[in-house]
Amino acid sequence: MSASAGGSENFWGALPDLARALAIQAGVLAGLWLVAQQLPRWVAPPYPLWAWVTAQAVLAAGVTLLLRLPRWWVWIQLLLPVVLGVAVWLQLPLWAVLMSLVVLWLLFRNALSEQVPLYLSNATTRKALCAAAKTLPQPVRFMDLGCGLGDAVVSMARCPKVVQSSGVETAPLSLWIARWRTRRAGAQVVGLSLWQVELQRYNLVYAFLSPVPMARLQEKVLQQMPPHSLFIANSFPLPDVAATEIWQLNDRRGTYLYLYRFDGQRRLLPPEVCHES
């Protein structure tokens, strides 16, 4: 590989995912514009808007997948041209389009800044979390790292053995919704990054994030989890340590929960069992 090619790859890899996604959209749009200049030679205009929107969405999503951006960006790339195309078709004013994009940013900001999309814990997962809480020897102080809309925090506040149910969230709109939902449940959601949470205060910690932060989170979990505690990772395990237990849930997506149990000396217990729940 030439030095210039290697430099180009390093430059591309150093760009934030948002910049790469926008560059892909711009590149596809430029390519379609060039096609549009030559298309009258073979097909007479006019050309339907839906055809251009479909081409933009499919090509942008395909290039995103080919260049190995995180999978949730494929969906964003697919939906963005559709949203803008619908806005043009409905002749919405510019302020309405911009407001829609702002709302999406407020809801999904973590996918852009921390590469952690908005994943929601389903009812089966919430029941499994309550079942896991019952296996702990002490009253449970629960923490959801990146709680989204607060589903798990509300559910755990109703679990008999849980004496404290808390969550943290940084996406502004998700945080507001989670606070509103958890207030009546006697739970608490605060606007902190998961990296600001002192895990020593909780004996059941839950995370449904993405593969990206798990290596860093592993260090935090191993350093801070207190004696006789339990850390649960939904779908994305800690990369370098074996889970004490792996639960496969009987839900539509076949969710895996990775359970990491700590003994009285804060040592991680070795693998024990893999079962369905």
**What percent of the chain is predicted at pLDDT more than 90?**
42
- 127 shares a domain with 88: no
- 190 shares a domain with 73: no
Among 92, 111, 138, the domain boundary falls at 92
Better-predicted residue by pLDDT, 36 or 130: 130
Show the tokens assigned to 25.
């959209």
Better-predicted residue by pLDDT, 197 or 148: 197
- 220 shares a domain with 88: no
Tell me the angle at which helices 94-113 and 71-89 cross, rounded to the nearest 10 degrees.
180
Q: Is residue 87 part of a domain?
A: yes
| Strands of the 256-261 sheet, one edge to the other | 188-190, 162-168, 140-145, 204-207, 230-234, 256-261, 245-248, 273-276
- The answer to whether residue 229 scores a pLDDT higher than 50 is yes
DSSP 168-209: E--SHHHHHHHHHHHHTTT-EEE---GGG--GGG-SEEEE--
- 75 shares a domain with 141: no
- 261 shares a domain with 177: yes
Q: Is residue 100 part of a domain?
A: no
**Average pLDDT of the residues in 151-175:** 91
- The answer to whether residue 161 scores a pLDDT higher than 80 is yes
* The pLDDT of residue 186: 85
> End-to-end CA distance of the chain, in Å?
50
**Average pLDDT of the residues in 12-26:** 73
- 235 shares a domain with 158: yes
* Local structure of 259: helix, strand or coil: strand
CA distance 203 to 134: 12
pLDDT tens digits, one per residue of 59-115? 988 888 888 777 767 877 888 788 777 777 777 676 666 666 666 655 555 555 555
* Local structure of 143: helix, strand or coil: strand
* Local structure of 84: helix, strand or coil: helix
- The answer to whether residue 262 scores a pLDDT higher than 80 is yes
Q: Is residue 55 part of a domain?
A: yes
* Local structure of 251: helix, strand or coil: coil
Q: Which is it for the CA torsion 130, 151, 246, 250, positive or negative?
A: positive
* The pLDDT of residue 274: 42
Q: Which is it for the CA torsion 90, 102, 170, 213, positive or negative?
A: positive
Show the tokens assigned to 208.
């449904």
Q: What is the CATH number of the domain that holds 187?
A: 3.40.50.150
* The pLDDT of residue 212: 81
Least confident window among 1-5, 28-32, 177-181: 1-5
How do strand 162-168 and strand 140-145 relate by DSSP bridges? parallel
For residue 218, the enclosing domain spans 123-276
- The answer to whether residue 43 scores a pLDDT higher than 50 is yes
**Alpha carbon 135 to its chain's center:** 28
- Comparing CA positions, the residue from 172, 129, 132, 128 lying closest to residue 149 is 172
pLDDT, the chain, mean: 83
pLDDT tens digits, one per residue of 168-210? 988 777 888 889 888 888 899 998 889 999 999 999 999 998 8
- 72 shares a domain with 27: yes
**What percent of the chain is predicted at pLDDT more than 70?**
81
Phi first, then psi, for residue 9 (nearest 5°) are -65, -40
Q: Which is it for the CA torsion 121, 125, 127, 132, positive or negative?
A: negative
User: How many structural domains is the chain composed of?
Assistant: 2
- Comparing CA positions, the residue from 176, 165, 178, 169 lying closest to residue 146 is 169
